[in-house]
Amino acid sequence: MHKLNSVGILGTGAYVPEKVLTNQDLEKMVDTTDEWIVTRTGIRERRISGADEASSDLAFHASQRALEKAGIAPEDLDLIVIATVTPDMTFPSTANILQDKLGAKKAAAFDLAAACSGFLYGIATASQFIQNGLYRYALVIGVECLSKIVDWKDRNTCVLFGDGAGAAVLGPVEEGYGFLSFDLGSDGKGGELLKLPAGGSRLPATVDTIASGLHYISMSGGDVFKFAVRAMGNSAEAALEKAGMTKKDIDFMVPHQANIRIIDAAVKRLGLPKEKVIVNIDRYGNMSAASIPVALDEAVNKGSIRYGDNLVLVGFGGGLTWGATVLKWSLKEKE
């Protein structure tokens, strides 16, 4: 019987645009207040990509940093997976565009769309290729330019989202380390609750769809909130059970950064102290597929996460989708 490889993260990287949009800035744009935004969401500011910045540009910077940390050359990559709902264009895939920018000549490349759960879907997919021995190194990126599809006149959605990219290089690690379990799921019945209505084959772009604002994010906030609280807790617990662990075994949780109240509810359910939860929503808002890898990279850079730590990465998103993974951190501190 073929022995499966243990797969883990060899290096992380992140990139956020320079432009900062604060709650005070939003007060001048729509009918809202800093106090309302902070109380309801925990967000104080977010990053906004420039007019000349697309998802592939953000992904490129994050990928370079991840590859450098992993000590892997672009030419050695076998696979590139980009999780995004804001691709540069419908096709070619943003992963193809990135492959060319990086010079990763032998890498297969494709995009996947699972909204805010995208990075988790991406690492679950890419890790299988390495686990089975088909490939050795994969690059997974969660990247979004949500500012390009937000209605800046809609105070219910424009305060929530930001732009950014987070990347991880995946490869073989020592046995017993790396990804120990995955839990992925979806409920298409809830697809109407969070969507971008037009621009696809159902509603191609027309003068009418543009005039009707159908190319902006549409969200039923209350319904998504209730789903998210359930999904985060259920998925984290399912992944822990598959890994043969309990809540007490968690050293750090890296949740999707959508809303501080959702994170707090999941933390309460899992009985985790706040110091074990990685949170940066106050500075970046909801970056969809980019939020988990950016938060993970920041925690790694601070030295919070150490060799042998048990991590739970968990998120939810449009689709509706959800996902979680348990991994034992395999990177040792450099001497």
Task: State the sign of the Cα–Cα–Cα–Cα dihedral 185, 191, 197, 201.
Answer: positive
- 41: Cα within 13 Å, side-chain hemisphere: 30
- Among residues 97, 26, 68, 44, which one has the least CA distance to residue 168? 68
145 is catalytic: no
- Among residues 270, 290, 266, 1, which one has the least CA distance to residue 117? 290
Rounded distance between C-alpha atoms, residue 128 and residue 314, angstroms: 19
Catalytic one of 234, 256, 259, 310: 256
Catalytic one of 96, 234, 259, 286: 286
Rounded distance between C-alpha atoms, residue 19 and residue 327, angstroms: 33
Q: Give 218's contacts (C-beta < 8 A, 6+ positions apart).
A: 194, 195, 196, 197
2 is catalytic: no
Rounded distance between C-alpha atoms, residue 288 and residue 54, angstroms: 15
Catalytic one of 116, 158, 234, 259: 116
256 is catalytic: yes
Q: Quick one: residue 226, left, alpha or beta (phi over 0 = left, psi -120 to 50 = alpha)?
A: alpha
Q: Give 155's contacts (C-beta < 8 A, 6+ positions apart).
A: 30, 31, 32
Which two tokens mark 309?
A: 């730590």
Task: Confirm if 40 and 261 have CB atoms less than 8 A apart.
Answer: yes
Q: Cis ω on the peptide bond leading into residue 92 (within 30° of 0)?
A: yes
Phi, psi torsion values for 142, nearest 5 degrees: -105, 120
* Residues classed as catalytic: 116, 256, 286
